[in-house]
């Protein structure tokens, strides 16, 4: 998905958040903003937002010396979701269709995105989500694919939502013999890293893989050989979050995208409203 005009202001918001989190002085902050302006001038018509964001975030790391600016925020958001986890598990288990409910809860977790907001209250989302469901809903197609699937490539998004992905994985493991769980190759915004995935115990439920991507979304031009081999051969690909959607929406193979449309650019592309939850098949 190519960048729209609103993507630049969104990335600028990410930059100002990162500057605050690194306690950057005014002079360095101005230098970072000037660098972003330079990157914009160099951007071509085929640029995607996660790639531009990756460039400026890498520059911020280099300039400030802070390798993971969002580390404390990720821990805070993870703690908040863990406090609600038992109630969520019960609600999912007692629902008419636990797998569908687990998909919904995984999508709710996608609301906790530092790139959009540093605040989030998962309890306030749950009841309305169960009533509203997905605005775009290819669940029946997903169930049909699961009948003949042996494995799934699950492309992760942010750190705290991986807790709810873990609930979904428990149910997916009832259908398939193997789940590959792909994470970012470096700390980028609040996205999940290999170290954090292990801390959450995901290595016990899935086969963790490094995607090769250094952006806040799956950058296919950076994908490593292991990821590409699994991507090519997996029976089902399940991609979480807007960044992954922006990076993979024009891929030729079949992909199920699970996300919340948190900006107008993505919402318009999907023909939904901002804030809607989406579970849709692209191919």
Distance (Å, whole) CA 270 – CA 5: 17
Distance (Å, whole) CA 89 – CA 44: 45
Supply 66's token pair. Answer: 């802070």
Domain map of the chain by residue range?
5-64, 71-282
User: Span 230-247, mean pLDDT?
Assistant: 97
The 10s digit of each residue's pLDDT in 86-116 is: 989 999 999 999 999 999 999 988 776 554 4
Torsion of CA 18, 21, 24, 25, to 10 degrees: 120
The 10s digit of each residue's pLDDT in 160-212 is: 899 999 999 999 999 999 999 999 999 999 999 999 999 999 999 999 999 99
* pLDDT for position 182: 98
User: Taking 80 as the threshold, does the pLDDT of residue 129 lie above it?
Assistant: no
pTM of structure = 0.94
User: Span 35-62, mean pLDDT?
Assistant: 94
Distance (Å, whole) CA 253 – CA 73: 35
Q: Please state, in angstroms and as integers, the Cα–Cα distance from residue 19 to each residue in 57, 120, 180, following that order.
A: 10, 20, 34
| Phi, psi torsion values for 74, nearest 5 degrees | -60, -45
Among 13-22, 72-81, 189-198, the minimum mean pLDDT is found in 72-81
Average pLDDT, the chain: 92
> Looking up tokens 């609301």, which residue turns up?
111
Distance (Å, whole) CA 36 – CA 22: 17
CATH topology of domain 71-282: Rossmann fold (3.40.50)
* pLDDT for position 77: 85
Using pLDDT thresholds of 50, 70 and 90, give the confidence band for residue 241: very high
Distance (Å, whole) CA 79 – CA 81: 6
Supply 268's token pair. Answer: 């318009």
The 10s digit of each residue's pLDDT in 214-224 is: 999 999 999 99
User: Taking 70 as the threshold, does the pLDDT of residue 117 lie above it?
Assistant: no
> Please, which residues have CB within 8 angstroms of residue 237's CB and are 6 or more apart in sequence?
152, 153, 155, 231, 253, 254, 255, 256
Among 11-15, 27-31, 128-132, 246-250, the minimum mean pLDDT is found in 128-132
Cβ proximity of 98 and 171 under 8 Å: yes
* pLDDT for position 122: 63
């Amino acid at each position: 998905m190519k960048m729209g005009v609103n993507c630049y202001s969104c990335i600028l918001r990410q930059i100002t958040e990162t500057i605050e989190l690194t306690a950057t002085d005014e002079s360095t902050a101005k230098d970072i903003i000037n660098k972003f302006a330079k990157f914009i001038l160099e951007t071509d018509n085929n640029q995607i937002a996660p790639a531009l964001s990756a460039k400026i975030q890498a520059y911020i790391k280099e300039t400030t010396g802070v390798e993971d600016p969002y580390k404390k925020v990720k821990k805070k958001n993870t703690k908040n979701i863990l406090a609600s986890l038992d109630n969520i598990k019960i609600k999912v288990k007692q629902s008419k269709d636990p797998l569908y409910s687990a998909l919904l809860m995984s999508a709710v977790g996608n609301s906790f995105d530092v790139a959009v907001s540093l605040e989030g209250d998962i309890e306030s989302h749950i009841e309305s989500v169960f009533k509203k469901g997905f605005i775009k809903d290819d669940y029946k197609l997903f169930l049909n694919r699961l009948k003949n699937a042996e494995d799934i490539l699950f492309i992760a998004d942010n750190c705290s939502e991986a807790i709810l992905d873990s609930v979904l994985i428990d149910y997916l493991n009832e259908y398939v013999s193997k789940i590959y769980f792909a994470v970012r190759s470096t700390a980028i915004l609040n996205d999940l890293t290999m170290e954090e995935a292990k801390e959450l115990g995901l290595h016990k439920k899935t086969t963790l893989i490094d995607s090769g991507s250094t952006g806040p979304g799956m950058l296919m031009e950076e994908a490593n050989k292991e990821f590409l081999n699994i991507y090519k051969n997996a029976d089902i690909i399940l991609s979480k979050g807007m960044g992954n959607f922006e990076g993979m929406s024009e891929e030729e193979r079949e992909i199920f995208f699970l996300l919340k449309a948190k900006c107008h650019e993505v919402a318009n592309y999907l023909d939904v409203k901002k804030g809607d939850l989406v579970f849709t098949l692209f191919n």
